[in-house]
Amino acid sequence: MSEIVLRSLQIDDAEIFALHANNSAIADNMTNQFPFPYTKAHALEFIRRLNGFKPAQVFAIDLDGEAIGAIGLHPQTDIFLKNAELGYWLAEKYWGKGFVSIAIKKIVEYGFSSFEIDRIFARPFGSNKASQRVLEKTGFVLEARLEKIIYKNNRYEDELIYAIRRK
């Protein structure tokens, strides 16, 4: 039986990340910091930039030794220091198989044990129903809907704020 593992990002992941992430269906649900087209150079920069954090903040979502996506927590600062933002992406051919749910459960457990935070939040686009479902399935609660504040691909999107709190 295949198992999802969260592991450190490796330089060797760049090729497969570029293959999987170079997909407008993924980029369309991400901030503009996630480039499209997505090249090996983008993957290398991502891996190099995020590998130096202690404790680690971003991990490869690994299935049978292959990086099929990434997931991470981004601790906030200043008055928001007890919060971390969750971000993730998964190769399209693995969508709908429960892999992100497993990865989210693992990163939430890791986040609350590794960082001095009380809340993990995610901000999916209003049109990203799959991401909303996976967040709800993993215990996140919808805290807010901000109407038409995201502008991406020449259209406005709602921003939803989901969160889970330390028990």
Whether residue 84 lies inside any domain: the answer is yes
Whether residue 58 lies inside any domain: the answer is yes
Whether residue 165 lies inside any domain: the answer is no
Whether residue 143 lies inside any domain: the answer is no
Whether residue 108 lies inside any domain: the answer is yes
Asked whether the whole model's pTM tops 0.75, one would answer yes
Give CA–CA dist 38/50, Å, rounded. Answer: 17
Q: What is the CATH number of the domain that holds 111?
A: 3.40.630.30
Q: What residue has token string 């709800």?
A: 136
Calculate ∠ Cα 40-17-152, nearest 5°: 90
Whether residue 167 lies inside any domain: the answer is no
Q: The domain containing residue 34 runs over which residues?
A: 4-119
Whether residue 130 lies inside any domain: the answer is no
Whether residue 149 lies inside any domain: the answer is no
Task: Please give the average pLDDT of every successive group of 10 residues along the chain, which has 167 residues.
Answer: 90 96 94 94 94 92 96 97 98 96 98 98 97 98 98 97 96
For 36-45, write each residue's pLDDT tens digit: 999 999 999 9
Kindly report whether the peptide bond that precedes residue 55 is cis, defined as omega within 30 degrees of 0.
yes
Tell me how many domains the chain contains.
1
